[in-house]
Copies of this chain bind each other. A is one copy, B any other.
Amino acid sequence: MTEPVTFAPARAEDVPAIVALLADDQLGAAREDATDPTPYLTAFEAIDADPGELLMVGRRDGRVVATFQLSFIPGLSRGGAIRAQIEAVRVHADERGNGVGADLMAWAEAEARRRGCALLQLTSDATREDAHRFYERLGYVPSHVGFKKRLT
């Protein structure tokens, strides 16, 4: 670990590494099919073209070791506040316990503040108890229930 992890917006050539991180996960394994890159590249183009979306990678020694997506959502609630939302946070199995997750969340929070967001929010699967302890340590309050309905 000579170099620190650096965070930068994802490029199209990072997509396979990001999909590999999404698939290397207890819940993600059943949801991703990394054999066909086409739908992921199409999605990447939509994210990249949207000024309200920021797909990020963390690199160490040139290798993608982490990823997350930030969405900036304008709204009327809370005095017309912009809220930042973090989705799809993943750290490579080799890099867990190295502080990469905390660095990633600090980067996200700084960027949300820079864009004037009043709130940073995320949802985490109820089974990810270690992740919940991690978010609570960083000052996140588990005040809400996250509901999802699959449409396909």
**B120 with A149: CB separation less than 8 A:** yes
The number of residues on chain A lying at the interface, defined by a beta carbon within 8 Å of a beta carbon of chain B, is 66
A77 partner residues in chain B, CB cutoff 8 A: 22, 28, 31-32, 87-88
Cβ-defined partner of A140 (8 Å) among B43, B109, B117, B147: B147
For A69, list chain B residues within 8 Å (CB).
75-76
Contacting residues, chain B, for A52 (C-beta < 8 A)? 50, 52-53
| Chain B positions within 8 Å of A50 at CB level | 52, 74
Q: Is A135 a contact partner of B123 (Cβ separation < 8 A)?
A: no
Contact A43 B75, beta carbon cutoff 8 Å: yes
A78 / chain B contacts, CB cutoff of 8 Å: 31-32
Q: Enumerate A39-73 residues with CB–CB distance to B below 8 Å.
A: 39-44, 46-47, 50, 52-53, 55, 69, 71, 73
Partner of A74, one of B41, B43, B79, B113: B43
> Which residues, 120 to 146 on A, are CB-close (under 8 Å) to B?
120-126, 132, 135-136, 138-146
Cross-chain contact A120 with B151 (CB below 8 angstroms): yes
How far is A135 from B146 in the complex, measured between Cα atoms in Å?
A: 11
Q: Judge if A91 is at the interface, Cβ distance under 8 Å.
A: no
Task: Check if A8 is an interface residue, CB within 8 A of chain B.
Answer: no
